Structure 1
């Protein structure tokens, strides 16, 4: 029960982080710079937590030779996933940019569990897990697409016309698979380092270094002037992201990658609906519909099937 609660809480925090970072992007003028600030603050936060709990940020250097190379790329995969969403949005539009990666996350989560990839728990694929995953996908499509379609039709928003639509959809699915892979890698890293907080710190640190390189290339003459209207909460995204990674590092060894991904997705949808309902973080209010509530219940039923059957 505790693991499910943790998964839901960090999932609820994820759309809040997205909303906060979107507002930060407005202040700094670049999504990459906003991501760098968010990652940097998250890294500092996790460094402090690691020092308080483990008394040290260091670990045996011989692990680089003993452990597979993929153990250290979780943070890089996170940056790739984040960047891909920015680039896919004008090609696919809001709805598909959400749904395609989620589909990839669920598919990869089930594959990882079935074969025990990246040190994850082996949980053989069966019909109950497949049916549960399908119900979650149906719930996601219902919860996300209904309001988004109404909003963007009202604003007359349409994605860029492209002859390679299925190519970009495939990219979205693959990026979602990268995200699930990151979850599994970070979970195994926590076991290797014998510390969930140190594993989360390493992942964020790698992501921060990656973003420093990207921002240096894209914005070599970067300057930042804080806007007087900038709200205080735009600096909280990194802390929420840090807790999200830390929560996943804790969950994966206990319940497996597939179930961790699915539970977090339920929390993500709940958080998104709450933001829409109350207009948090200066977002536009979009009252929750009955169809969205039913879609959420379908997702929860899917999780129950995966968890209990």
Structure 2
């Protein structure tokens, strides 16, 4: 029971991390710079965690000698997910920022399992898993508010966030989900090779930090040079990296205890609950949004769909 509650708690950290990083973006000026600081802080935290748990501040990379190159791409995929979250959040809200990547993650996860990609165990695509996928898509459709009352005209759709441009951002959300699914497989395999999930998380964050540093230099991204903490810069805007490090570690650590299915479901429950709370109460500086009953119904349908795909 404690492990399940840990999964729910860890899942609830994801929308909080998105809100925190979005606030950091407002201070440092760009999503890329905010992602860099988030990854840098998370890397520092994981170095300390590796030191405490393993007696050394670095992973045993020698154990990964001869392994395929893609085992070290988890950090690059994480950069895409985190930066995409920062871009997506202010345009569609925290609920959609969570739901759309879930949809992409489930679809990509089905493909990985069906064809045994990234050394994943091959699982046949039965009717139960297909039905679960359709439930997830139907739930996501309801949750993002694409089911509209009959008779609503185009101008009303635009005013409520249904402009044509919003579909591009929703497409980004689906792509982020695909990257997240691949990241889980990549980091999971690396954790098995290294024998410690915290070391796999450290490798992932280090690669992500270096990737972001190269992008910052290549694009000459400006930094506003904000004060570390002040009246206009709350202290909590710097903890996104700590939240991200916790989430990555929890995913790897809870899997062997609960199994993949229960880990995904418990963390999904936490993510959905956390995102609803952020939108309803406008937590951490987020814009306060009214949550419709269709969104709540959609979230419940998604939970059922994910359970069919991962548990049954």
TM-score (normalizing by structure 1): 0.82
Relative distance call for 1:281 and 1:29 in structure 2 (3 A) is same
Give 1:146 shift.
6.7
Whether the 8 Å contact between 1:11 and 1:244 is mirrored in structure 2 is yes
Q: Distance in 1 between matches of 2:33 and 2:176?
A: 21
Whether the 8 Å contact between 1:11 and 1:266 is mirrored in structure 2 is yes
Q: Deviations over 1:182-211 (max 9, x none)?
A: 111111111111001111111111111111
Whether the 8 Å contact between 2:268 and 2:303 is mirrored in structure 1 is no
Equivalences for 1:1-309 in 2 at 5 Å?
Answer: 4-84=4-84, 100-145=100-145, 173-219=174-220, 222-226=223-227, 228-252=231-255, 264-309=267-312
SS of the residue 1:66 aligns to: coil
Give 1:296 shift.
2.4
Relative distance call for 1:101 and 1:214 in structure 2 (3 A) is same
Q: Distance in 1 between matches of 2:287 and 2:254?
A: 33
Q: Distance in 1 between matches of 2:144 and 2:4?
A: 22
Q: Distance in 1 between matches of 2:298 and 2:184?
A: 25
Whether the 8 Å contact between 1:38 and 1:235 is mirrored in structure 2 is yes
SS of the residue 2:294 aligns to: helix
Q: Distance in 1 between matches of 2:217 and 2:273?
A: 36
Structure 2, unpaired ranges of 5+ = none
Whether the 8 Å contact between 1:109 and 1:259 is mirrored in structure 2 is no
Whether the 8 Å contact between 2:22 and 2:89 is mirrored in structure 1 is no
Q: Distance in 1 between matches of 2:38 and 2:287?
A: 23
| Segment drifting more, 261-270 vs 172-181 | 261-270
Whether the 8 Å contact between 2:9 and 2:270 is mirrored in structure 1 is yes
Q: Distance in 2 between matches of 1:145 and 1:282?
A: 23
TM-score (normalizing by structure 2): 0.81
